[in-house]
Chains A and B, each alone.
Chain A
């Protein structure tokens, strides 16, 4: 009986976390899609500016410790 409850509870937790995870993924995807759509609407000059910044973003954590 106890084992069944634990199993149920565990299952519900897993299902709840999975649900949250799905919602988060959808939210992230929407944000990314929004950012891509916004980027696509920019003119070529603004795109070059954003690209110029974006290619340096991966280095920011390392630059912070430089």
Chain B
């Protein structure tokens, strides 16, 4: 008799959503989290009265979250107070000028027309095309299993419109942006989002050019910080009997005769269950926790072939003034060419750039309660990478923190350096140590089309019976709604195959 029906390793959004749903469906579920906090990258921490989000900064495309909470017998909006973020994003050019896109497609078209009338018209064609694609994807792609060719065939039968977008597989993100938009000023507002996939625009498949559009479907911030989303899942799960243990690190997944039998914790104790759901990096799971000896050779080759996604350093600052910004999100406006230069000359060579770019998150614009009255919080996400030539992040952490603040003060956020009350930095090494993300890879495995759907580690393991994967490592990939979708998929598959 096993100790539990299901053990879930890791309390990221995929882990907590699958654990809560399975508990709600009447299974005896144990959720194990190695750190003291829930949520993984979708979490919030407090320092001297200021609340900072660890990684994820907003939520968009919320349908998977709505489906997950419906499966728990409640509504997402009833469990988490969502604050709409409008404008969608502000773009800051290196000369200090800026342009801000509202959520509204029409208003954004007007703003783009002011920069380039031709591109203003192109924006409406772009929005119509990718609006159709987003709708198609939301019809079921995100929450449908992609464990094999049969699943993909079912998906195509269910949504044949997907074939309409096949040409986007042989075009790059950059090709698509340049096809629609001719003005470099406009291209600079459409390029940064490719880094959500961990690659520059010229290496990302054209279908992901939907990203600059998709945020216009709406973005929200959970009141109280991003932690509120995983916390709501845990709360719903606990009501249904979910047991949660934090500071419980799994060091081995026990596999005998090709079937999972439980896990071993760092203290040597073994907990048994016929089903294990893993929310950790798939390479770590298969190659370290299960061990190569327990894998067929083809699975070993496949697993080793995956590359890790990019990492980033995060800078957290508490301020005693209102930063001169326009939106919850601002990005330094970079051209596709500059991003390629950065990729080949900095990221690939381990050399930090002189001219940084990245994302500026201003959560207190949406939720002032995250800081003392009149004060504000910024989470700065400059670009960075795990390996540094001739040095390491422990050595570079403090200088990088100071340099980033000084640099952004110089053109993007005037006055910033004079108003910092609290500051902290999480480097790629910190992410590796705290969140157990190998090489600090915030999206686990690279997310290009050759690592997607059936070519991403399967939600239902093909090598080990009773093992299921959720989170960034499996379909549909990295992000809060997508990892939640993976939790829905795993719960669905477990109900189908593990009665």
Contacts and interface: CB of A to CB of B under 8 A. Distances in A.
B174 A45 contact: yes
Interface stretch (B68-76, B225-233, B235-243, B452-460): B452-460
A20 interface: no
A63 interface: yes
Contacts, number: 67
Nearest to A59: B305
Nearest to B337: A45
B33 to A, nearest CB: 25
B167 to A, nearest CB: 13
B448 A63 contact: no
Given A45-B172, A52-B448, A53-B450, A63 B202 contact: no
B462 interface: yes
B203 interface: yes
B135 to A, nearest CB: 26
B172 A59 contact: no
Interface in B249-308: 282, 286, 296, 298-299, 301-303, 305-306
A65 B455 contact: no
B298 A65 contact: yes
Given A45-B174, A59-B305, A65 B299 contact: yes
Interface residues of B, number: 30
Contact of B303 (A45, A52, A66): A66
A65 B175 contact: no
B156 interface: no
A62 B340 CA distance: 30
Interface in B153-191: 170-172, 174-175
Contacts of B305: 56, 59, 62-63
B202 A45 contact: yes
Interface in B437-457: 448-451, 454-457
B448 A62 contact: no
B448 A65 contact: no
A63 B296 contact: no
B262 to A, nearest CB: 23
B451 A63 contact: yes
Given A45-B172, A45-B202, A64 B448 contact: no
A49 B336 CA distance: 13
A45 B336 CA distance: 10
Interface of B: 148, 170-172, 174-175, 202-203, 282, 286, 296, 298-299, 301-303, 305-306, 340, 448-451, 454-458, 462-463
21 contacts: A45-B172, A45-B174, A46-B172, A46-B202, A49-B175, A52-B448, A53-B448, A53-B449, A53-B450, A59-B302, A60-B455, A62-B302, A63-B302, A63-B305, A63-B451, A63-B455, A63-B456, A64-B455, A66-B286, A66-B303, A66-B462
Given A60-B450, A66-B306, 8 more contacts: A48-B203, A49-B175, A50-B170, A56-B305, A56-B448, A61-B298, A63-B306, A63-B451
